[in-house]
Amino acid sequence: MSSAPSVEAVRAALATVNDPEIHKPITELGMVAAVDVAADGVVSVTVLLTVAGCPLRDTITRDVTAAVTKVPGVTDVRLTLDVMTAEQREELQTKLRGGVPAKEIPFSRPGSMTRVYAVASGKGGVGKSSVTVNLAAAMAADGLNVGVLDADIYGHSIPRMLGANGRPTQVQNMIMPPSANGVKVISIGMFVEGNTPVVWRGPMLHRALQQFLADVFWGDLDVLLMDLPPGTGDIAISIAQLVPTAEILVVTTPQQAAAEVAERAGSIATQTHQQIAGVVENMSYLPCPHCTAEGKEHRLEIFGSGGGRRVAEGLGRLLGHDIPVLGEIPLDPRLREGGDEGKPLAVADPEAPASQVLRSIATRLGHRSRGLAGRSLGLTPVGR
């Protein structure tokens, strides 16, 4: 009967396993967090992935298991995959850059007091950008220092909706964002001519986000809102990697079809280990204008009802804890008009029913945190 292998022998075997993307030994990259060898030859290994949604996790599992199994005396291999912390990723990046530290993202810095919300939806057309803009303007009107990052690179619309007509100013390698309605804002739309489409693939999208987070001088923000594109693609994964503390705010409409895909968008939190701040139901109902005129209250549920509640309940079951429905925003044509004119309804008419719901959500989210925040693409502001 052979004796159990030594920890050193197992680590030597792990040193033969290369990360499939970086092509360096996982031991050299600091990916091996723990190795334990039991008396009966069962080996337990914990490997840290660089990002939660790593597409090559199956390859790492296969290669680690195969390498450790070959060590004499090993009877079984039990592999646990975890995710690197922001500090561990920074150390890895510095190591890969030859000791030169990467540019720091203030919102990922330990001790950052900025509350970061990634506003997500399963599909387009649910008013996600309108919700983002109105929440930002309402928070700013409430005295908070607020920033908005338009992370919807292909469908950027935040500058128009927020009324941000200014251009960023570049001071050496630092980008100074324009402000509108008391909100600092940055968007790829500020760096392209006219309505030129942005035709980029994953790596370029990631680098643009990284630059917006690290190179833009946001100052001391209380809240940063990031308007994500619909779905769970490259941008959502990059946000989770660059700002792992960002909380997901899911926007849906009442109908079943929208609720199902919105739940999918929120469920990315199970892979990225992010928190879900809550669910916002937009276009919930239309207050009957005739009934209102007669002093009565009647709701016309044009898109059905209960979508926000269904999304919250579904995500709650998935995550094992309650997810709140933060508000149900009624239909109001002035929300659309305000977006076209760059005048968010939440501040243009604070007493409107839709504004009251939006301001209530803004207060609830904004006052959870009040404190300090914490040219790889060669972007140059248009007109400069």
What is the structure's pLDDT at 129? 93
What is the structure's pLDDT at 373? 33
Together in a domain, 178 and 40: no
Q: Are 253 and 132 in contact (CB under 8 A)?
A: no
Is pLDDT above 60 for 378?
no
| Domain presence at residue 328 | yes
What is the structure's pLDDT at 294? 57
Q: Among candidates 239, 272, 349, 256, which has minimal Cα distance to 304? A: 256
**Residue 90, domain extent:** 7-96
CA dist 141 → 148, 225, 348, 349, 363 (Å)? 14, 15, 11, 12, 10
Q: Is 1 exposed, middle or buried (0-12, 13-18, 19+ CB in 10 A)?
A: exposed
Query: Which parts are annotated binding residues for ATP?
Result: 122-129
Q: What is the CATH number of the domain that holds 348?
A: 3.40.50.300
Number of structural domains, the chain?
Answer: 2
What is the structure's pLDDT at 199? 54
Q: Are 343 and 161 in contact (CB under 8 A)?
A: no
What is the structure's pLDDT at 372? 31
Single-letter amino acid, residue 32: V
| Domain presence at residue 372 | no
| Domain presence at residue 192 | yes
φ/ψ of 82, rounded to 5, equals -125, -175
CA distance 164 to 108: 26
- pLDDT (tens digit per residue) in 10-39: 999 999 999 886 778 999 989 999 999 999
- pLDDT (tens digit per residue) in 289-311: 666 555 567 788 888 888 899 99
Question: Region 69-98: what's the mean pLDDT?
Answer: 85
Of 91-95, 171-175, 283-287, 360-364, highest mean pLDDT: 360-364
Of 15-29, 55-69, 146-160, 347-361, highest mean pLDDT: 347-361
| Domain presence at residue 383 | no
Together in a domain, 112 and 187: yes
φ/ψ of 296, rounded to 5, equals -105, 165
- Look at phi and psi of residue 207 and say left if phi exceeds 0, alpha if psi is from -120 to 50, else beta: alpha
Q: Among candidates 147, 150, 146, 144, which has minimal Cα distance to 129? A: 150
What is the structure's pLDDT at 383? 43
Q: Are 264 and 271 in contact (CB under 8 A)?
A: no
Strand ranges in the chain using DSSP code E only, listed in sequence order: 32-37, 42-49, 76-83, 115-120, 146-150, 169-171, 174-176, 179-180, 183-187, 223-227, 247-252, 276-281, 286-287, 299-300, 325-328
Together in a domain, 176 and 281: yes
What is the structure's pLDDT at 370? 38
The SS3 assignment for 10 reads helix
Out of 193-202, 217-226, 307-316, which region has the weakest mean confidence (pLDDT)? Answer: 193-202
Together in a domain, 115 and 81: no
CA distance 198 to 152: 11
Together in a domain, 83 and 130: no
Is pLDDT above 50 for 79?
yes
Single-letter amino acid, residue 303: F
- pLDDT (tens digit per residue) in 85-124: 878 877 886 777 666 555 778 888 878 889 999 998 877 8
Q: Among candidates 181, 186, 81, 84, which has minimal Cα distance to 140? A: 181
What is the structure's pLDDT at 91? 81
Q: Is 58 exposed, middle or buried (0-12, 13-18, 19+ CB in 10 A)?
A: exposed
CA distance 352 to 162: 18
Q: Can you read off the two tokens belonging to residue 210?
A: 């990284």
Question: Region 203-210: what's the mean pLDDT?
Answer: 80
CA Rg value for the chain: 24
| Domain presence at residue 166 | yes
Together in a domain, 76 and 210: no
Q: Which residues, other chains included, contact 311 with Cβ-Cβ below 8 Å and sequence gap of 6+?
A: 250, 252, 259, 262, 263, 266, 279, 323
CA dist 183 → 42, 186, 269, 358 (Å)? 56, 10, 27, 16
Together in a domain, 129 and 194: yes
Is pLDDT above 90 for 55?
no
Q: Are 345 and 332 in contact (CB under 8 A)?
A: yes
Query: Which parts are annotated binding residues?
Result: 122-129
Is pLDDT above 70 for 2?
no
Question: Region 282-294: what's the mean pLDDT?
Answer: 76
Domain edge (last residue) among 96, 122, 150:
96
What is the structure's pLDDT at 281? 95
Question: Region 221-236: what's the mean pLDDT?
Answer: 86
pLDDT confidence of 194, banded at 50, 70, 90?
low
Q: Which residues, other chains included, contact 78 with Cβ-Cβ below 8 Å and sequence gap of 6+?
A: 42, 43, 44, 45
| Domain presence at residue 380 | no
Together in a domain, 118 and 33: no
| Domain presence at residue 374 | no
What is the structure's pLDDT at 22? 73
pLDDT confidence of 212, banded at 50, 70, 90?
confident
Q: What is the CATH number of the domain that holds 43?
A: 3.30.300.130
What is the structure's pLDDT at 123? 78
What is the structure's pLDDT at 53? 66
Together in a domain, 227 and 320: yes
CA angle in degrees (0–180, nearest 5) for 175-192-147: 40
Together in a domain, 143 and 44: no
Is pLDDT above 50 for 146?
yes
- Strand 32-37, strand 179-180: pairing: unpaired
CA distance 44 to 33: 11
The SS3 assignment for 142 reads coil
| Domain presence at residue 207 | yes
- Strand 42-49, strand 76-83: pairing: parallel
Question: Region 329-355: what's the mean pLDDT?
Answer: 93
Together in a domain, 207 and 331: yes
Is pLDDT above 60 for 127?
yes
- Look at phi and psi of residue 342 and say left if phi exceeds 0, alpha if psi is from -120 to 50, else beta: left
What is the structure's pLDDT at 171? 57
Single-letter amino acid, residue 6: S
Together in a domain, 65 and 91: yes
